[in-house]
Every structure is written in C-alpha cells, then in structure tokens.
Amino acid sequence: MKSIYSEHTRNILGLKLPTDPRWVNLAEISLEAVLTDHAYCEQKAATTCISLIQRYPDRELMVQKLSPIVTEEWGHFRAVLAEIQKRGLKLGKQRKDIYVNKLLVFQKKGGSVEDRFLDQLLTMALIEARSCERFKRLSEGMEDAYMRKFYRNFMESEAGHYTLFITLAEHYIDKVTVRKRWQEWLDYEKELMNSMEIRGDRVH
C-alpha cells in the first residue's frame, strides 16, 4: 500500500515524501487543534493571494486567476470555523507555522524580481500540494465518515490550487527554469519533512 501511495504522490503532486500514516491518528485525537490550525491556514492562503495581487498588479493573468482564489480560501476558512462551532469546539490562537517559515528561508532574497516572483509562486504551489496530500490522508484514514468526506472536498480544491500556481509560473517565466527550480524546492521540502516532528495539532 505504501509503495502505491508513494507513486500516486510523486505522479500527482510531485512530492518526494508522503506523510507518515501515524499523523492521521494524532490529528483525529487533536481535532480541535488541527481544525484551528486548518482555519488559519485557509486564512493565510487568502491573505497571501491578496499580497501577491498588491505586489504585482501588472501581472494581469495572475490577478485574474487569484482573485477568485481569495474568495474560495476565505470560504474555506468560514467552512472550517462553522465546523468548529458546530462541534462545540473553540477556535484557538494562531500558532507559529514552522513548516511555512522554513519554506520562506529557502526563497531567494536577492537576484532579479523574476527570481523572487518565481519562488513566491512555487512556495504557494508547494504549500497547496502538501495541504492536498495531508487532506487526502485525512479523507482516507479518519474513523469519522463525515470528516473523511469533509476533507475529501478540501483535497480536491487544493489540488487545483497547486496546479494553478505552477501554470502561472510557467506563463511568466521560461518553463525549463520553472521546472528546474521546482525540483530544487521538492528536494528541499523532502529534507524539511524528514526533519520535522510528527504532530497531530497542525496541518503541516
């Protein structure tokens, strides 16, 4: 089963290391915490898209494509918040996102505007890809059938977002350059995932 899943991960998302299956059990035990973290992840995805639009208003295709993503991500935040409230749980405080912060370290800080723009798009693509992979794990491994369906819907949405950021990168920047840098990101993320503690109170 693991080899089949790993092949699916490589083919569909490109990720080089699947999530440890134990994470699903830990997440289900810490449902309030993981839902809280999920809500903030959706919120941050919306605000990051807004920031990209504000920073690069001249990139017309990007502005056109990301505008509805802002609405969708905020809708996801509201859906997760509603689930928290429906279960009588509470939205906790936003935590420090170690995974995302370590991805930001890998972004190019110098160089050309194009280099920085590319890394910003690929960072978003990678976060969406890993989120999709994690939601797939939850949709297949949680005991609660309702929650499996709940996360199946999120998985399908995140897969579309991942491909959008790659497509946008290839629209503005040479495809060979994008693919080369994307492989560097995937290699970096594999080592990052290997080094991180398995915790069920967070999405990443």
Contact 83, 150 (CB under 8 A): yes
pLDDT at 12: 54
Residues 6+ apart with CB under 8 A from 51: none
Does 125 score more than 60 pLDDT?
Answer: yes
For 29-43, the pLDDT digits (tens) are 999 999 999 999 999
In angstroms, rounded to a whole number, what is the distance separating the alpha carbons of residues 166 and 104? Answer: 17
How is residue 169 written in tokens? 């990168």
| Percent of the chain whose predicted confidence (pLDDT) is above 90 | 83
Q: What mean pLDDT comes out for the span 111-128?
A: 94
For 145-197, the pLDDT digits (tens) are 999 999 999 998 877 888 999 999 999 999 999 999 999 999 999 999 999 99
Does 4 score more than 80 pLDDT?
Answer: no
In angstroms, rounded to a whole number, what is the distance separating the alpha carbons of residues 203 and 176? Answer: 31
Quote the mean pLDDT of the chain.
91
pLDDT at 140: 94
Q: What domains are there in the chain, each with its CATH number?
A: 23-195 (1.20.1260.10)
Q: What mean pLDDT comes out for the span 130-139?
A: 94
